[in-house]
Amino acid sequence: MVLTKTPICNFGEKTKSFELKGIDGQLHKLEDHIGKNGLLIMFICNHCPYVKAIIRDIVEDCKNLRKKGVNSIAIMSNDTKEYPEDSFENMKIFSKKFNFTFPYLIDETQEIAKKYKAECTPEFYLFNQQNKLEYRGRMDETSPSSDKKPSGKDLRVAIDNLLSNQPVCEEQLPSMGCNIKWKAN
């Protein structure tokens, strides 16, 4: 596990289109999943202890967001040859274990992670109704080695501001977690 921190939000940046295979065997286009009030894109994986520390909260938050018109998508971009725990079959198992209610997609070419400049898992991107980036960062300060329970406060404040048409806080804290496991060239 290599701790990686991400850069801060490039406010106003537009979503980047994609079509990725989901664990349901279907191809998912970004445009088909944009909610009436926004979209949360998460880069996660199965093996990362940072993801494991907050996955139950992620699933619960995504259920609540859907009710508020904000859809969610999770993308797994790691090299599955070197990290078989993140394989497509294991993505299905992980999703079922934690009752995902959002698409879990595999980025086999890692092209989408590169387009979004994703650097670690978990990493959160919140887009508004115009598909413009409002938040890029962490869910909260939780880490696998801390005694703190996940609160989701950083991401939740951004979501609450988005839904109430308030400016999302410009003081955003970077995600921290395991680096994306890039394929060797």
Whole-angstrom distance, CA of residue 19 vs CA of residue 21: 7
In sign, the C-alpha dihedral spanning 170, 173, 178, 179 is positive
Find out whether 43 and 29 touch, Cβ atoms under 8 Å. Answer: no
**3-state SS assignment for residue 114:** helix
Instruction: State the pTM of this model.
Output: 0.91
Is residue 98 within 8 A of residue 170, CB to CB? The reply is no
CA distance 184 to 79: 9
What is the gyration radius of the CA atoms in the chain, in angstroms?
Answer: 15
Buried/exposed code over 36-72 (b: 16+ C-beta within 10 A; e: otherwise): ebbbbbbbbbbbbebbbbbbebbbebbeebeeeebbb
- Tens digit of pLDDT per residue, the chain (185 long)? 454 445 565 666 888 999 999 999 999 999 999 999 999 999 999 999 999 989 999 999 999 999 999 999 999 999 999 999 999 999 999 999 999 999 999 999 999 999 999 999 999 999 999 999 999 888 877 666 666 676 667 888 888 888 998 877 666 777 888 999 999 87
Q: Give the residue from 84, 70, 75 showing the smallest Cα distance to 114.
A: 75
pLDDT for the residue numbered 125: 95
pLDDT at 11: 64
